[in-house]
Amino acid sequence: MPRVATANRPKVAQQEAEPDLFESSISLEEQHIKEGYEQGLSDGRQEGAQEGQELGLQKGFELAQELGFYRGCLQVWEQQLAAHADLTPTRAQKAFPALNQLLHGLREPNPKDELLQQQLENVRSRFRATVAIMGLQEEILPQNTISQSLSF
């Protein structure tokens, strides 16, 4: 029996001395995983920046469109007030300057700015109140298009 043990020892030592055939494959796989990860990060940064820019343009356009709508309505109402003050409700005459002040007091658009978000909510609320005072809810804010056209 001791003979078998000594016979195995040289084989074990011989196996330890030989390089592992799979070691280079494992090393190559790890290298490819690392390179793939780094390439993914690089591509992700580029795609993320591009998607962020596109989303920013889209949201900025939507915001500008909404504010333009409010300003356009206000201009028409102010022209109506100038031409036919007797047809414009007194409460509406007082609401126009308040809405105008809110619209002109908006800060430079930055969606992350919490103050801007609060100011937008104030403009939206004042606009809805002015529309209600004017009795134009159905003409300006039809129920089926509220969520489709305006963000409030």
pLDDT digits (tens, 9 = 90+) for 76-99: 988 888 888 888 788 888 888 999
- Any domain includes 61: yes
- How much is the pLDDT for 143? 59
Confidence of residue 38 (pLDDT cuts 50, 70, 90): confident
Angle at 51 between CA 47 and CA 53, to 5 degrees: 120
Domain count, the chain: 1
- Any domain includes 100: yes
Average pLDDT over residues 17-43: 76
- How much is the pLDDT for 75? 92
Average pLDDT over residues 52-61: 85
- Any domain includes 1: no
Lowest-confidence region among 17-21, 85-89, 116-120: 17-21
Over 80: is that where the pLDDT of 108 sits? no
- How much is the pLDDT for 126? 92
DSSP alpha helices (H): ranges in the chain? Answer: 2-17, 23-83, 90-104, 114-134, 137-140, 146-149
Domain that includes residue 75, residue range: 21-149
Which residues does 78 contact at the CB level (< 8 Å), separation at least 6?
A: 96, 100
- Any domain includes 14: no
- Any domain includes 29: yes
- Any domain includes 7: no
